Amino acid sequence: MPVLQVVIDTNVLIAALRSTRGASHRVLRLIGDGRWQLNLSVPMFLEYEDVVGRPESGISLSVQEIDAVLDFICAEANLREIFYLWRPILPDPKDDFILELAVEAQCDYIVTFNVRDFVGAEAFGVSVITPQQFLRKLEEIQ
């Protein structure tokens, strides 16, 4: 089975850091698993860093713990450079940089809770699925 290429939307990271229960946290714990590769760009990382650092994020981790998670993500992810822009494509232009990363990395999946926000991604060969659906693809859950 080929290694799946994946982009994780910020909302999945936030959910994973808010609670150790649920599919998002399980996906986060599987970063580095040989069955899939997380892809990251500078804009995606900056979004992660910005959103997890907001007081209203609901994350109860310390700054040091959050930094450790972000460092781990950077160490494990496949860093991609975006040389072209496909904007505007998606209903919410703020999500276009996520699709651009997925296209550049030839991703199989964008993992997000906002599946409807990525209508049009399928035209680029990228499937958009929830964390729970992704865990099913990995045969982590039934």
Dihedral-angle region of residue 139 (phi above 0 means left; psi in -120 to 50 means alpha; beta otherwise): left
Inside any domain, residue 103: yes
> Considering its fold, how many domains does the chain have in total?
1
Q: Which domain holds residue 115?
A: 4-137
Q: What is the CATH number of the domain that holds 77?
A: 3.40.50.1010
Question: For residue 51, is it within any domain?
Answer: yes
Torsion from C-alpha of 106, 127, 121, 57, nearest 10 degrees: -100
pTM above 0.85, yes or no: yes
Q: Confidence band (pLDDT; 50, 70, 90) for 93?
A: confident
For residue 13, tell me if it sits in a domain: yes
Would you state the pLDDT for residue 124?
92
The 10s digit of each residue's pLDDT in 109-142 is: 999 999 999 998 999 999 999 999 999 999 998 8
pLDDT, tens digit, 9 for 90 and up, residues 55-66:
999 999 999 999
142 in any annotated domain: no
